[in-house]
Amino acid sequence: MQAKVTAPVFEHHREPLGIGESRPRLSWRTETDTPGWRQAAYQIELVDDTGAVLGGTDGRVESDASVLVPWPGPELASRTRVGARVRVWDTGNRASPWSPVAYAETGLLDPADWTARPIAPRPDPGTGPARPRPVVLLRRSFRLHGPIASARLHITALGVFQPELNGRPVGADVLAPGWSSYHHRLRYSTHDVTEHLRQGENVLGALLGEGWYSGRLGFHGGRRDIYGDRPALLAQLEVRYADGTTRTVATDTRWQAATGPALRSELYDGEEYDARLERPGWSAPGDPGPGWTPVVELGMPRGALVAPTGPPVRRTRTLAPVRILTTPAGHTVLDFGQNLVGRLRIRVRGEAGRTITLRHAEVLEHGELALRPLRQAAATDRYTLSGAPGGETYEPLFTFHGFRYAQVDGWPGEPAPGDVEAVVLHTAMERTGWFTCSEPLVNRLHANVVWGMRGNFLDVPTDCPQRDERLGWTGDIAVFAPTAAFLFDCSGMLGSWLRDLAAEQLTRPDGAIPPLVVPDALPEGFPAAPNAVWADSAVLVPWALYRAFGDEGLLRTQWESMSGWADELERYVARDGGLWRGEFQLGDWLDPAAPPDRPGDARTDGDLVANAYAARTAEIMAEVAALLGEPGHAERYTRLAGRVRAAFADEFVTPGGLLASDAQTAYALALRFALLPTGRQRERAGRRLVEIVRRAGFRIATGFAGTPLICDALTEAGAPQIAYRMLLETGCPSWLYPVTMGATTVWERWDAMLPDGTVNPGEMTSFNHYALGAVADWLHRAVAGLGEAAPGWKRLRIAPVPGGTLTHAHAAHLTPYGRAEAGWERHGGTLTVTAVVPPNTTAEVQLPDATPLFEVGSGHHTFTVHGFTTPAWPPQPLRHPFSSPEENAPAPEDGGDGGDRR
């Protein structure tokens, strides 16, 4: 087959309308079944709407680059539409046909492009600010004369908004503009609304809610109005007539405001909606009815108006209930069979004035909704019927909940299964990673990781989606980023989040320490001291993205933030004899041995964790500096890494190779981050880790810091069977314990639900926290054997480590070059390894036998290993002679379906 090139992608955009880059980089994939295919050269042409060539590369460019290739044309101005197409030559000088043309259009790149001003309803002098504020309707009627060629709506809000034009919603974005560090950056979106408009009267409207801007955020009661106390809308509709003239309709004092049916709509507490107060046709031409008042103009937002770099939040699927239960207390509860993030959509017929209450929870306890884990989030929607004779439908506007169960009170009669569905919301990222194996419980674990990512990638990478928190905790994403970047294309979304991290960090008084949560919504000055892992996110997250997506530009953009934090580390180390000694560290947060009320009381010393991560951070920084052409800095960071390593070995490692904290996380860190100077120490530490794990009866004993590392540490220490034994353990605590308890997402705590079905008495009992799901990275790379050996998957590493009771495993990933796969199947002593290597990449292959590492080109590959054996299964625990036999029950041999035991 002749090589075919896909339509190029602009930057990381799935929908390149209103992009903010004036020199967007281009990426393309080549599809071919020619084995060993490599690109030798490319040519890019830029075209206009009619396909006429505007420019491009100067003929063909001798290069194998196909990912984020520099823009081959002049800088784009605002509102510019441009097409691009690509063709390539292979190493045999065979040309591909031209790719299809992909079009992109810039948004408003210059602040001066905005003539609109933010508008808000006039404050009501009599009543003072309502708490919480109702959703406001804003509208403006205007006339258009003559045929319309095209129209764009550029829009954002201080708050959350939903635009409507002539009675129809514009676009499908939810909770726009999402949550950024509004003081620094406010994202706007651009919509093609050509089809919405007509000659004559038109009406542009928007619903405006509090959202993250002024709604309550944070735990312990949280705070309101963190960014401001006046939600406002900023909209600019630009119409181009067929004759080339233009007309702009922008938010200004000609707009009008009214309240509507949503009396409040809050992220944590939910929405209260009285359908009797609806204003039919409020955003359509004609008389909008009474009660409209003028608006006031506010000053321009403090933060820069920026185009998004990632996708918006959308409704991505709906789920029907799998069961309708009556609880012991007599409530009707719908079970959606999956812990998810979103909200309900109901269809109901009943009398006007009746109120239906919808409460949400992730689990049941004693047969009722378990509400305690939500802490101070009411997560309750109330809908009062209008009594429409044909029935009515309702989905809340500006809230979301984390739930599997929903209690429905006040329904006229009983809801039938089709009356209520769950609408799943998250950032509309493209799915790029898959894993399956012969063990159903592990497959469910992997599915739980995927669902956990969906629910916690709702514009901001959050710790959890349900309680009075839902914050961009930096440590959580620091450990989960490699897994995230495999499962979904989160390059654009996390790239944007990192801009916020940098903005928050660099404008703090010290300019060095990233906040614990981004956007920073914690009370001022909290916390006083920096925390390893959390602060290291400034380096670990960009690095994970660089490895996955090959975006060197991202490193360049983040350099100031990355080096800001690394230089701060350097100062700590210089001050205190080569080590960072913190007063307090979150450290190996949620070590399962930590008491419920003291989640930071881990077995591994916080300083040990901090310095291990400091060495890793310094080492990454040395690589980044070298890559960005900063040899001086590279040398300095290499020295820093060396100094921390030496001091670490001095302080925390015995000459024989034992660690000051004799705990799983300590050994995992030391082994994975190369903190053991001698071969003898490494060998001993590996053996000691195995001993500790066997002594623990293969139960997990790591928190946030150690969990992503322990299976790799065991694998590298030559004990993959021990890693498998841990993976397959079902007793509490373990990865599969929650699965056997019916979990459909990854829990915050290993024992968020106790074996007796009650909820852990601690405060941290989210049932949807992705951090401990970081083990999926090991499933992909080691169990299935699919990993990247060079940034952006330009080179793959196929290195499966079959083991445990697994008879097959397989992973696939849509790399920037195309789909890659790796997997294996075992029949007795014969092991068949398969791999798919995308065009324009190579792979190093390490088979699980004595065959030395070798290299292959693109295409489908099969390798057979004869006489394959693994050490005896199951590995034996180290038992104290008086321990109970139950403690060491073997892992499941045949698995179950992970069915619901709740």
Closest CB 516 distance from ligand RAM, rounded Å: 7
Measured from the Cβ of residue 353, the count of other Cβ atoms closer than 10 Å reads 12
Asked whether position 812 contacts ligand RAM by CB under 6 A, the answer is no
Which CB atom, from 473 or from 667, has the smaller least distance to ligand RAM? 473
CB of 535 to ligand RAM, least distance (A): 12
Is the CB of 269 or the CB of 748 nearer to ligand RAM?
748
Report which residue type is found at 665. T
The span of 4-12, 59-67, 425-433, 467-475 binding ligand RAM (CB under 6 A) equals: 467-475
With respect to ligand RAM, which residue has the nearer C-beta, 703 or 792?
Answer: 703
Closer of 341 and 586 to ligand RAM (Cβ): 586
Q: Helix, strand, or coil here: 808?
A: strand
| Spatial contact of 171 and 17, defined as CB atoms under 8 Å apart | no
439 or 469: CB nearest ligand RAM: 469
> Given the rule CB under 6 A, which of 263-271, 471-479, 613-621, 852-860 is the region that contacts ligand RAM?
471-479
* β-sheet bridge partners, residue 89: 41, 95
Cβ(346)–Cβ(368) below 8 Å: no
Least Å distance between CB 477 and ligand RAM? 9
**315 vs 156, 318, 343, 344, 429, CA distance in Å?**
19, 8, 10, 11, 12
Does position 197 interact with ligand RAM (CB under 6 A)? The reply is no
Nearer to ligand RAM, 405 or 589 (CB): 589
195 exposed, middle or buried (CB, 10 Å; 0-12, 13-18, 19+)? Answer: exposed
Nearest alpha carbon to residue 476 among 396, 385, 544: 544
3-class secondary structure per residue, 746-795: CCCCCCCECCCCCECCCCCCCCCCCHHHHHHHHHHHHHHCEEECCHHHCE
Among 14-22, 183-191, 472-480, 804-812, the segment contacting ligand RAM (CB under 6 A): 472-480
Collapsed DSSP state (helix, strand, coil) of residue 604 = coil
Q: How far is CA 331 from the centre of its chain?
A: 35
- How far is residue 98's CA from residue 432's CA, in Å, rounded to a whole number? 26
Binding residue (CB under 6 A) for ligand RAM from 21, 469, 591, 605: 469
Rounded distance between C-alpha atoms, residue 617 and residue 565, angstroms = 9
From 93-101, 253-261, 473-481, 841-849, give the range in contact with ligand RAM by CB under 6 A. 473-481
Contact stretch for ligand RAM (CB under 6 A) within 78-86, 304-312, 462-470, 731-739: 462-470
Task: Scan residues 407-446 and list those touching ligand RAM (CB under 6 A).
Answer: none
Nearest to 473 by CA among 411, 536, 420: 536
Judged by CB under 6 A, the number of residues near ligand RAM is 10
Contact between 463 and ligand RAM (CB under 6 A)? yes
Q: Which is nearer to ligand RAM, 475 or 804 (CB)?
A: 475
Per-residue exposure over 815-843, b if at least 16 CB sit within 10 Å of its own CB, e if not: bbbbebbbbbbbeeeebebbbbbbbbbbb
Among 464, 490, 736, 822, binds ligand RAM (CB under 6 A): 464
**Shortest distance (Å) from residue 620 CB to ligand RAM:** 21
Closer residue to ligand RAM, CB minimum distance, 310 or 452 = 452
Pick the closer one to ligand RAM by CB: 521 or 586.
586
- Min dist. Cβ of residue 763 to ligand RAM (A): 8
Residue whose CB is less far from ligand RAM, 384 or 745: 745
Rounded to whole angstroms, the Cα distance separating 39 from 452 reads 38
DSSP of 639-698: HHHHHHHHHHHHHHB-TTS-BSS-SHHHHHHHHHTT---SHHHHHHHHHHHHHHHHHTTT
Judged by CB under 6 A, does residue 589 bind ligand RAM? yes
Residue type, 760: N
**Binding of ligand RAM by 712 (CB under 6 A):** no
Binder to ligand RAM among 473, 543, 565, 572 (CB under 6 A)? Answer: 473
Strand pairing report for 270-274 and 380-384: parallel
Shortest separation between residue 469's beta carbon and ligand RAM, angstroms: 6
DSSP readout, 311-336? PPEEEEEEE--SEEEE-TTS-EEEEE
Residue 484, φ and ψ in degrees, nearest 5: -60, -45
Q: For residues 272 and 476, which CB has a smaller minimum distance to ligand RAM in the complex?
A: 476
Min. distance of Cβ 587 from ligand RAM in angstroms?
10
Neighbours of 200 (CB within 10 A): 9
Residues 843 and 856: beta-carbon distance below 8 Å: yes
586 near ligand RAM (CB under 6 A):
yes
Catalytic residue, candidates 238, 469, 619, 729: 469
Q: How far is the CB of 536 from ligand RAM (least distance, A)?
A: 13
Strand positions, DSSP E, 349-444? 355-361, 364-365, 368-369, 380-384, 392-394, 401-409, 420-427, 433-437
* Per CB under 6 A, 217 contacts ligand RAM: no
Told to check if 475 binds ligand RAM by CB under 6 A, we report: yes
What DSSP assignment string belongs to 24-67? --EE--EE---TT--EEEEEEEEE-TT--EEEESSS-EE----S
Residue 271 annotated in active site: no
CB of 402 to ligand RAM, least distance (A): 12
Task: Please state the closest distance from residue 435 (CB atom) to ligand RAM, in A.
Answer: 24
Cα(121)–Cα(136) distance, rounded to whole angstroms?
8
589 versus 724: smaller Cβ distance to ligand RAM = 589
Which residues inside 748-787 make contact with ligand RAM, applying CB under 6 A? Answer: 764, 769
Whether 748 is catalytic: yes
Of all helices (H) and strands (E), which one includes residue 859? Answer: strand 859-865
Strand 232-241 to 246-250 pairing? antiparallel
| CB of residue 574 to ligand RAM, shortest distance in Å | 28
Residue 594 found at the interface with ligand RAM (CB under 6 A): no
Q: Where does this chain touch ligand RAM (CB under 6 A) — which range of 36-44, 468-476, 736-744, 819-827? A: 468-476
At 41, list the tokens: 């050269």
Smallest gap from Cβ 473 to ligand RAM, in A, equals 4
Q: Report the nearest approach of ligand RAM to the CB of residue 452 (Å).
A: 12
Among 269, 419, 439, 476, binds ligand RAM (CB under 6 A): 476
Residue 533 or 784: the one with the smaller Cβ distance to ligand RAM is 533
Catalytic residue among 271, 272, 748, 821: 748
Number of Cβ within 10 Å of residue 510's Cβ equals 10
| Composition of the chain by helix, strand, coil, percent to 5 | 25, 30, 45
Question: Which helix (DSSP H) or strand (DSSP E) does residue 158 occupy?
Answer: strand 148-158
> What does the block give as tokens for 554?
């991202």
Token pair 């599915």 in the structure block, residue: 447
Q: State the binding string over 529-568 for ligand RAM (x if CB under 6 A, else -).
A: ----------------------------------------
- Residues designated as active site: 469, 748
Chain contacts with ligand RAM (rule: CB under 6 A):
463-464, 469, 473, 475-476, 586, 589, 764, 769
